[in-house]
Structure 1
Amino acid sequence: MLDRRSAPTQLVMSAGGSHRLDPVTGDHLVTLKQGQRFDGNPGAGAFLIGHFEDYLLRIRSDTPPQRFPSKRAALPTAALLATPERGNRAELEHRIAAPLAIITLSILAIPLVEISPRQTATGRLLLALLAYFCFFNLQRLAESWLETGVTPLWIGSLWYQFVILGAVHLLLLPESFWLKRARQQFARVPESRGCTITS
């Protein structure tokens, strides 16, 4: 191996070696076994010769270290259940969230499509878009909070679905059939019936 980065030039020869990457810095780490090192400039008569058993050479990388994606997505569900770790719990609830989201969004769609002939669909359409936007943004936020330890394990990462359900139904509560019926019941004034006594 010829190294021209320093003065004088270094020539390293060995019988074998190994190579690995530093996971932190991304540098190349070359370990040489049983060799010699020659320090000197070509054409000059003066050379410094050294013998070594192990020689570690670090070659700095100009590119940042590559971050590989998490392998939890490839683990079977049984393995996630067997290891109750935060990352595995977040991945497990991420898998549960997909089928549960279908049920939750179906329940949300029922009150959002009920429109009387006197009402316009603009308000409920905007509410549906807002609920959809908040739903999936809160999903990513809840999973990140669970994995980083912001939320405790007993809360989990599925709480956002119940929050969206409750918020939408609370906003639609003034237009609900049961509330209107209750208002009509309380608005009725009982008719007073008088009786006359004739002699």
Structure 2
Amino acid sequence: MIVFRYLSRELLVTVSAVSAVLLVIIMSGRFIKYLAQAAQGLLDPGVLLLIMGYRLPGFLQLILPLGLFLGILLAYGRLYLDSEMTVLSATGMSQRRLLLYSLAPAALVAALVGWLSLGLAPQGIAEVDRILNQQDSLTEFDTLVPGRFQNLRDGSRVTYTRELSADRSELAGVFISETNTSARSGKARGVSVLVAESGRQEIQPDGSRYLILENGFRYDGNPGQADYRAIQYDTYGVLLPKPQVAVELSEREAMPTRELLGSDNLRHRSELQWRLSMPVLVFVVTLLAVPLARVNPRQGRFLKLLPAILLYMTYLALLIAVRGALDKGRIPMALGLWWVHGLFFAIGLLMLYWEPLMLRLKKRRAAPGVAHG
């Protein structure tokens, strides 16, 4: 029991540290992407933290199996390197017993992953989808930040306002630069610059919104040429287009698991198998990691790390590929994703019993020679 607690503690601490690092890396990349959309005026900066919070369960359900896999490799690899595992082996610690000890922490991780995959992750994605749909109803006027130039329309329009009222209805010190493009060729054919002392938003009966500028100038021309045309105006209306938020979420990912259970749709059934596969993935990678963690102290701790990561990536990539084939009906649903888990389960068993099998074969080959002598 003491050995079990020691191994479990070492494993869980390493898994937590590795998962935390992976989570920071993945969330940082995704946050930068959303932050870029907010800088372009496609998202309200106030919803960024909400989006990241709701996406957290979806990130964790994929990170935790990898964190467990790497945690076993690193924790047990250190024990082999420090000869602690050699001492444990001398007291009767076999690979099979080590695997049984590892299954207890793996069961905790699998339970957490199952809770995330079947419950929290779909709820979080549904909330993100709701927030993004709300962002689709906004105009660039609603996403303006005073005192900052914002690129809109994929960089074809730059908007700036010096001041913005609390209810976002009045602007002061407005600057708008827009690149004019040809309808036929799509190439830029000049720049229009609008400056105004003030502006306000006006909603038409058909629902379209206009920015009404007051007391300003409009300049039209081509950069580098002295053919600019200046027009002074008292009132000028600018149509406010709706920002196009890039939504990467599918409807089935946001569906509650209970709705997937009774669905006959191929995509819904493959989604259900994917969610159920996440906890299964945890146990299979545990079986793969235990024999891979065994290293010779002379070889170093990271000798098998790269091949192990490649094996995990192959496992996950094959699951994703088969999921796509299930969506298109190319693979029977009864076979589904389970044959992939079965394949890597067999690989794990082969690695676990490979050395005992080779040892038995050597003994059988040596036995006739000994008897003859």
Letter in 1 for 2:292: L
Question: How high is the TM-score relative to the length of structure 2?
Answer: 0.31
Residue in 2 that maps onto 1:149: 329
Residue in 2 that maps onto 1:90: 270
Letter in 2 for 1:114: R
Q: Contact (CA 8 Å) 1:173, 1:179: kept in 2 or not?
A: no
- Please state how far the C-alpha of 1:75 moved relative to its aligned partner: 1.9
Question: How high is the TM-score relative to the length of structure 1?
Answer: 0.54
Letter in 2 for 1:95: R
Distance 1:177 1:118 in 2: 22
| Alignment partner of 1:187 is 2:366 | yes
Note the residue ranges of structure 1 that are not aligned, 5 or more in a row: 1-15, 19-62, 194-199
Q: Contact (CA 8 Å) 2:252, 2:268: kept in 1 or not?
A: yes
Q: Which has the higher helix share?
A: 2
Residue in 2 that maps onto 1:36: none
Distance 1:157 1:175 in 2: 26
| Residue pairs, 1:111-190, within 5 angstroms | 111-116=291-296, 124-167=304-347, 170=350, 172=351, 175-188=354-367, 189-190=369-370
The answer to which of 95-104 and 180-189 deviates more is 180-189
| Alignment partner of 1:80 is 2:260 | yes
Letter in 2 for 1:90: S
Letter in 1 for 2:255: L
Q: Contact (CA 8 Å) 2:287, 2:348: kept in 1 or not?
A: no
| Residue pairs, 1:9-158, within 5 angstroms | 69-116=249-296, 124-158=304-338
- Please state how far the C-alpha of 1:191 moved relative to its aligned partner: 2.6
Structure with greater Cα Rg? 1
Letter in 1 for 2:321: L
Judging changes above 3 Å, is the alpha-carbon distance between structure 1 residues 121 and 166 closer, same or farther for their aligned structure 2 residues? farther
Distance 1:89 1:77 in 2: 10
Judging changes above 3 Å, is the alpha-carbon distance between structure 1 residues 100 and 127 closer, same or farther for their aligned structure 2 residues? same
The answer to which of 144-153 and 172-181 deviates more is 172-181
Q: Contact (CA 8 Å) 1:131, 1:168: kept in 2 or not?
A: no
Query: Could you say what secondary structure the match of 1:191 adopts?
Result: helix
Judging changes above 3 Å, is the alpha-carbon distance between structure 1 residues 76 and 169 closer, same or farther for their aligned structure 2 residues? same
Judging changes above 3 Å, is the alpha-carbon distance between structure 1 residues 184 and 120 closer, same or farther for their aligned structure 2 residues? farther
Judging changes above 3 Å, is the alpha-carbon distance between structure 1 residues 91 and 116 closer, same or farther for their aligned structure 2 residues? same
Judging changes above 3 Å, is the alpha-carbon distance between structure 1 residues 174 and 74 closer, same or farther for their aligned structure 2 residues? closer
Distance 1:101 1:88 in 2: 20
- Please state how far the C-alpha of 1:85 moved relative to its aligned partner: 1.9
Identity over aligned pairs, percent:
26
Judging changes above 3 Å, is the alpha-carbon distance between structure 1 residues 121 and 161 closer, same or farther for their aligned structure 2 residues? farther
- Please state how far the C-alpha of 1:174 moved relative to its aligned partner: 9.1
Q: Contact (CA 8 Å) 2:287, 2:349: kept in 1 or not?
A: no
- Please state how far the C-alpha of 1:190 moved relative to its aligned partner: 4.2
Distance 2:259 2:361 in 1: 52
Q: Higher relative CO (CA 8 A, sep ≥ 6), structure 1 or 2?
A: 2
Letter in 2 for 1:152: P
Judging changes above 3 Å, is the alpha-carbon distance between structure 1 residues 121 and 82 closer, same or farther for their aligned structure 2 residues? same
Query: Could you say what secondary structure the match of 2:371 adopts?
Result: coil
For the aligned residue pairs, the C-alpha RMSD in angstroms reads 3.5
Query: Could you say what secondary structure the match of 2:332 adopts?
Result: coil
Distance 1:180 1:85 in 2: 50
- Please state how far the C-alpha of 1:173 moved relative to its aligned partner: 7.7
Distance 1:168 1:123 in 2: 18
Distance 2:314 2:365 in 1: 36
